[in-house]
Structure 1
Amino acid sequence: MIDCREPSRLVAFWAEALRYRPQPPPDGHPTWRDWYLSVGIPGEELGEGDCADRLEDPTGAGPRIWFQPVPETKTVKNRLHIDLKVGGGRGVPVVERRSRVDAEVARLTALGARVLGSMDDPDNGYYSAQLADPEGNEFCVV
């Protein structure tokens, strides 16, 4: 579960970032909004839209993620930190890993992420970038 102000915004971002997909609503319900109403959540608490607030791994291997709406914005350090491992690990030359990380950073910033910094330590064979999602949650690309 990830707390957020705008679940639909983060569902769209993280679906692309993780190569996940929005989780379909339970059987018999055309939208998540319809399902929430069916279990007694008042419509005024749901806001606008279809309330799509969950992601799933299309392969079924990764965890499902629920984006829980909360009234406050992020104000302190994350309690959860995701590392997107795209570089290939230490068995891949650091020059190649840097290229892979930079390409992923470019893809993610085009989706709405913001670059916070990087760690470039070629002597120790390390390269990574720290980013923030559209609501400011930090994550790394390594």
Structure 2
Amino acid sequence: MTTRPTLQLTVDCAEPERLAAFWATALGYHVEPPPAPFATWRAYWLDQGAPEEELGVGDCSDSVVDPDGAGPRIWFQQAPEAKAVKNRLHLDLGVSGGRGVPFATRKERVLAEVARLESAGATRSCLADAEDSGSFSVLMRDPEGNEFCVH
């Protein structure tokens, strides 16, 4: 019998702790606490034999988890190179309530979420407003420039 794989999303980035904090806020996730009895992830990884020079700076709080356990764990992995091109994979955050909700209400909900995410460090990139087709979304970038959509 085969076991079903678990899903973890991994995001290469320059500042893992910063992105983990942003995406925890954006998704309603929590920064993943270190395993007991360790006070920090750094202490845990050092105990496991990870070399100090591989741990970067900070306490290594570089992953976020869904508090309900339904969504995937997201790990922010420090990478030496900067983001250079458009993402091949991006997250879509659905906050409008879907097509059963009046267009004006969906647009209001999306713009409220966009404002909340901007206050958390995201930037607005592009607006797609097509009332005739019932579509409204905003392309945004997280603090390191990774694209995501709010619809």
TM range (shorter): over 0.9
Match of 1:8 in 2: 17
Match of 1:101 in 2: 110
Match of 1:35 in 2: 44
- Percent identity of the aligned residues? 58
Q: 5 Å matches for 1:1-142?
A: 1-142=10-151
Give every structure 1 segment of 4 or more consecutive aligned residues whose post-TM-superposition deviation is greater than 3 Å. none
Q: What SS class does the counterpart of residue 86 from structure 1 fall into?
A: coil
Q: What SS class does the counterpart of residue 99 from structure 2 fall into?
A: coil
Cα distance between partner residues in 1 of 2:126 and 2:77: 28
TM-score, L = length of structure 2: 0.91
Cα distance between partner residues in 2 of 1:39 and 1:78: 33
Q: What SS class does the counterpart of residue 64 from structure 2 fall into?
A: strand
Taking only aligned residues, the RMSD between alpha carbons, in angstroms, comes to 0.9
Gap regions ≥5 residues in structure 2: 1-9
Cα distance between partner residues in 2 of 1:50 and 1:109: 26
Q: What SS class does the counterpart of residue 27 from structure 1 fall into?
A: coil
Cα distance between partner residues in 2 of 1:94 and 1:128: 11
TM-score, L = length of structure 1: 0.97
Kindly tell me the number of residue pairs found equivalent between the two proteins: 142
Q: What SS class does the counterpart of residue 58 from structure 1 fall into?
A: coil
Gap regions ≥5 residues in structure 1: none
Shift of 1:34: 0.8
Shift of 1:28: 2.4
Shift of 1:27: 2.3
Shift of 1:40: 1.9
Shift of 1:48: 2.1
Q: Which moved more, 1:130-139 or 1:33-42?
A: 33-42
Shift of 1:26: 1.7
Q: What SS class does the counterpart of residue 10 from structure 1 fall into?
A: helix
